[in-house]
């Protein structure tokens, strides 16, 4: 009889035990949602994070590491103005932590998109110089180019110095910069931004391995190679520069970068008052780039050489120049309106940039490959 009572009691207790076990199952917090999606952007993005689980706390990081409970707590949108990886997780008491959400943002800050296309390179209108002819058809892939010439503030942030003659406003373009120094800036900035550097000297892409920037012609530095498929910053090719200056089109066929009226788009000898000016004060051209006519002249990648009439695709210029001359494009504060034309070509040795007035008109802007 007692055994029957014991069995009956077990039959009552066992279901209760199973019922208790089922009530101890723990829910899992929903994975956070990060918007906008991963991608390449040409301006700063406002990133928002949400979680569908009510009462959950969201933790996030912006340096690529996995978030933990000591990471920043999300309360307000994150402004992403540079390359950044955002990761987020959410937790709630007595719940399992969420999975980690990840979004990767590439921001081409202060850069404008230049679409792929075909254009006629060389002097298509007006009068000029023999080296601007013959005109020839050039086809280019898409790329990004600096909206502005590299400023003194941007240069200082990377190089920790300011070689410029015209100081007093960090938004003025950096000048008195040699071609060699521009290579160092491009690779250093690429490394700072987590990108693949484009330039290699003696087998290294790290400027720390290159030694001091030469102040005279250097065969070693002249042998620099450029990886056009790298994600990092570089100087534009001569064809890329002219295409961008034209607004990525031959129509309208402007003399200057965005206008037939030089004063609208250029600081040159007549209106510059003998100095450089903060970038972006004149009218932009058709792609939204500023100062491609005037302010300071700009180094490009190519060795200087004569044009040919043959059609070209993504040209990078001659393999060398017998007197070590690199192409310089655009006019400057010190030159006539003729130098502000989109087809004007100048040149200099790559060490040219030492402190003297004639070189305080030498600066540059950068490009990057399109994703």
Count the alpha carbons within 13 Å of 361 in the hemisphere toward its beta carbon. Answer: 25
**Structural domain harbouring 87:** 33-107
Shared domain for 103 and 117, answered yes or no, is no
Q: Per the domain annotation, does 7 fall within a domain?
A: no
Shared domain for 312 and 237, answered yes or no, is yes
For 251-272, the pLDDT digits (tens) are: 999 999 999 999 999 999 999 9
Q: Per the domain annotation, does 329 fall within a domain?
A: yes
For 192-208, the pLDDT digits (tens) are: 888 999 999 999 999 99
Shared domain for 64 and 52, answered yes or no, is yes
pLDDT, averaged across the chain: 91
Shared domain for 278 and 346, answered yes or no, is yes
Q: Per the domain annotation, does 150 fall within a domain?
A: yes
Q: Per the domain annotation, does 68 fall within a domain?
A: yes
Secondary structure class of 367 (helix, strand, coil): strand
Q: Per the domain annotation, does 12 fall within a domain?
A: no
Reported pTM: 0.76
Q: Per the domain annotation, does 272 fall within a domain?
A: yes
312 has which bridge partners? 138
Contact 106, 79 (CB under 8 A): no
pLDDT for the residue 354: 65
Shared domain for 103 and 115, answered yes or no, is no
Shared domain for 56 and 204, answered yes or no, is no
pLDDT for the residue 358: 64
Shared domain for 76 and 178, answered yes or no, is no
Phi, psi of 370 (to 5 degrees): -80, 145
List the structure tokens of 81.
Answer: 């103005």
Q: Per the domain annotation, does 4 fall within a domain?
A: no
* CATH label of the domain that carries residue 60: 2.60.40
Shared domain for 151 and 277, answered yes or no, is yes
Shared domain for 273 and 288, answered yes or no, is yes
pLDDT for the residue 203: 98
Shared domain for 260 and 330, answered yes or no, is yes
pLDDT for the residue 109: 65
Q: Per the domain annotation, does 11 fall within a domain?
A: no
Positions of the chain with pLDDT under 70: 1-24, 42-43, 81-82, 108-109, 354-358
Question: How many domains, the chain?
Answer: 2
Sheet holding 136-140, edge to edge: 117-121, 136-140, 312-313
């Amino acid at each position: 009889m007692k055994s029957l009572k014991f069995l009956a009691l077990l039959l009552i207790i066992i279901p209760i035990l199973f019922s208790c076990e089922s009530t101890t199952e723990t829910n899992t917090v929903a994975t956070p949602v990060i918007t906008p999606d991963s991608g390449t952007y040409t301006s700063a993005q406002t990133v928002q994070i949400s979680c569908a689980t009510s009462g959950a706390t969201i933790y996030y990081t912006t340096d690529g590491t996995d978030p933990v409970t000591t990471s920043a707590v999300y309360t307000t949108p994150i402004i992403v103005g540079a390359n950044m990886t955002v990761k987020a997780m959410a937790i709630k008491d007595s719940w399992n932590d969420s999975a980690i959400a990840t979004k990767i943002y590439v921001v081409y800050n202060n850069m404008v998109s230049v679409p792929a296309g075909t254009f006629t390179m060389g002097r298509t209108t007006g009068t000029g110089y023999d080296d601007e002819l013959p005109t020839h058809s050039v086809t280019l892939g898409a790329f990004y180019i600096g909206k502005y010439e590299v400023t003194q503030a941007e240069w200082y942030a990377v190089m920790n110095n300011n070689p410029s003659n015209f100081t007093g406003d960090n938004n003025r373009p950096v000048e008195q910069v040699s071609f060699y120094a521009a290579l160092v800036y491009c690779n250093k900035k690429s490394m700072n931004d987590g990108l693949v550097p484009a330039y290699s000297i003696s087998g290294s892409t790290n400027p720390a391995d290159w030694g001091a920037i030469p102040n005279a012609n250097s065969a070693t530095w002249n042998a620099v190679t450029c990886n056009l498929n790298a994600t990092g910053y570089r100087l534009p090719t001569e064809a890329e520069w002219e295409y961008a200056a034209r607004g990525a089109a031959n129509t309208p066929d402007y003399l200057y970068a965005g206008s037939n009226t030089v004063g609208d788009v250029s600081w040159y000898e007549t209106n510059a008052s003998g100095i450089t000016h903060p970038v972006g004060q004149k009218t932009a051209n058709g792609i939204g780039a500023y100062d491609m006519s005037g302010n300071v002249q700009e180094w490009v990648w190519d060795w200087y050489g004569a044009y040919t009439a043959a059609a070209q695709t993504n040209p990078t210029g001659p393999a060398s120049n017998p007197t070590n001359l690199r192409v310089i494009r655009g006019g400057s504060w010190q030159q006539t309106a003729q130098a502000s034309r989109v087809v004007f070509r100048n040149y200099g040795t790559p060490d040219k940039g030492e402190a003297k007035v004639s070189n305080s008109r030498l600066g540059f802007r950068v490009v990057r490959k399109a994703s």
